[in-house]
């Protein structure tokens, strides 16, 4: 199957200014995203994982220009979204939708479900007004709600149902790409499974592409085709799902995977417990950003930034940003 490029992110940077001092000048920057590049193909699910502050949500927001990116390009079907006017961007929002983590905060409490969905369709001019009601009822059924619930207010729904409303809203404008920013993180597992299954069914039915942002590697393994691992504003590893979970290369990815508690009391645990905390993104470490916590770090890691690369032991488009992939795999690196 020929893969068709849908979204291409190149050298994306997002610096947030820190104001301070007597005159309230910009004294420094939070380097939330510091030059990341990746491609999303049509019909696939790409996940971005990482811990708090790694820049995964910022990536989603920068792609949609909810925050104007500092540098870099976001090419969606041939158009660089960072170069167009806000008016033109609005047209593209029809194709690029987002579902947020907190269904309580992302839905207007004073709007009924019908008026919420109607508004989205009205703004994007999706259907003539007289056909919208039928479409709203159809959408509610699609996401597992009942048509008669269309005239209810958000507080009359549970958390899982509200997330379904968020999905219905995203779907109402026939998008091509949906960015799911921690979309199932606030839900209990029994409900989370329902929503994950729904997202998969919708993908099959409408040929949707997902950019799935999550900190939960269980969810990510379940839903993704490819996975991007981020640490402190940089991509440290990118691979298809199987390679990433079965053959992780970057020391951070390995530590991250080993840190997750396994729901099996007999599981063999080779836990790599990382020392310390994630450094501040205001003043990220020089060289490899992970060197302050990496058990293998050398002087080279402290000065020279590693780039994403692949080795003969890595299959497909698997890439990792580490100077010592081969040495670590061969076991010749000394662990501190």
Partner 1 sequence: MNEMENILVVNNLQTTFKTDAGDIRAVDGVSFTVPKGKTIGIVGESGSGKSITSLTILRLLASNGRVNGGEVLFKGKDLLKLPEKAMREIRGNQISMIFQEPMTSLNPVYTVGQQIGETIQIHKKVGKKEAIQQSIEMLKLVGIPSPEKRVKQYPHELSGGMRQRVMIAMALACDPEILIADEPTTALDVTIQAQILELIKDLQNRLGMSVIMITHDLGVVAETCDYVAVMYAGQVVEYSDVRSLFKNPKHPYTLGLLNSLPRHDIEQEKLIPIKGMVPSPHEMPVGCRFAPRCPVATELCHNKMPQLLNTNDSNAEQIRCWMFSDEWDGDSEVTLYGEKRTIKG
Binding residues vs partner 1 (CB under 8 A): 51-52, 158-161, 188-194, 196-197, 215-223, 242, 245, 255-267, 269, 271, 273-274, 277-278
Cβ of residue 148: shortest distance to partner 1, in angstroms?
17
Residue 54, token pair as written in the block: 């790694």
Q: Please report how close the Cβ of residue 238 comes to partner 1 at its closest, in angstroms.
A: 17
How do strand 209-214 and strand 45-49 relate by DSSP bridges? parallel
Rounded (5°) CA angle 311-233-333: 40
Cβ of residue 209: shortest distance to partner 1, in angstroms?
20
User: Nearer Cβ to partner 1, position 74 or 274?
Assistant: 274
Name the residue nearer to partner 1 (CB basis): 187 or 301. Answer: 187
Q: Which is nearer to partner 1, 39 or 203 (CB)?
A: 203
Nearer Cβ to partner 1, position 216 or 326? 216
Strand order in the sheet with 5-20: 25-41, 5-20, 71-76, 79-80
CB of 34 to partner 1, least distance (A): 19
Residue among 98 and 274 whose Cβ is closer to partner 1? 274
Query: Are 290 and 252 within 8 A, CB to CB?
Result: yes
Report in angstroms how near the CB of residue 278 gets to partner 1 at its nearest: 8
Smallest distance, partner 1 to C-beta of residue 22, A: 23
Q: Which residues, including other chains, have CB under 8 Å from residue 310's CB and lie 6 or more apart? A: 317, 318, 319, 320
For residue 105, what are the CA distances in angstroms to 5, 69, 134, 304?
A: 33, 24, 27, 42
Instruction: Yes or no: say if 81 and 65 are a contact pair by the CB < 8 Å rule.
Output: yes
What DSSP element (H or E) covers 199? helix 189-206
Residue number, 30 or 278, with CB nearest to partner 1: 278
């Amino acid at each position: 199957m020929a893969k068709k490029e849908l979204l291409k992110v190149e050298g994306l940077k997002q610096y947030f200014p820190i104001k301070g001092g007597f005159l309230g000048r910009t004294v420094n920057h939070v380097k939330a995203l510091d030059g990341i590049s990746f491609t999303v193909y049509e019909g696939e699910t790409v996940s971005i994982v990482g811990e708090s502050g790694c820049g995964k949500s910022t990536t989603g927001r920068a792609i949609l220009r909810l925050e104007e990116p500092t540098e870099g390009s976001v090419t969606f079907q041939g158009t660089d979204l960072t170069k167009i006017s806000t008016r033109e961007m609005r047209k593209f929002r029809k194709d690029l939708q987002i579902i947020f983590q907190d269904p309580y905060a992302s839905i207007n409490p004073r709007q009924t479900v019908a008026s919420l969905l109607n508004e989205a369709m009205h703004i994007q001019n999706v259907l003539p007004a007289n056909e919208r009601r039928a479409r709203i009822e159809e959408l509610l059924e699609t996401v597992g709600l009942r048509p008669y619930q269309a005239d209810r207010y958000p507080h009359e729904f549970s958390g899982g149902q509200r997330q379904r409303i968020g999905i219905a809203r995203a779907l109402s404008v026939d998008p091509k790409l949906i960015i799911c920013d921690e979309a199932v993180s606030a839900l209990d597992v029994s409900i989370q499974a329902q929503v994950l299954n729904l997202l998969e069914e919708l993908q099959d039915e409408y040929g949707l592409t997902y950019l799935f942002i999550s900190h939960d590697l269980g969810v990510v393994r379940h839903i993704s085709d490819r996975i991007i691992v981020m640490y402190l504003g940089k991509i440290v590893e990118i691979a298809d799902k199987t390679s990433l979970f079965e053959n992780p290369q970057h020391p951070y990815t390995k530590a991250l995977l080993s840190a997750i508690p396994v729901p099996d009391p007999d599981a063999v645990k080779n836990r790599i417990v990382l020392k310390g905390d994630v450094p501040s993104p205001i003043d990220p470490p020089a060289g490899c950003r992970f060197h302050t916590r990496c058990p293998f770090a050398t002087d080279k890691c402290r000065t020279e930034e590693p780039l994403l690369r692949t080795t003969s032991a890595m299959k497909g488009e698997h890439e990792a940003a580490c100077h010592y992939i081969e040495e670590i795999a061969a076991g010749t690196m000394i662990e501190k």
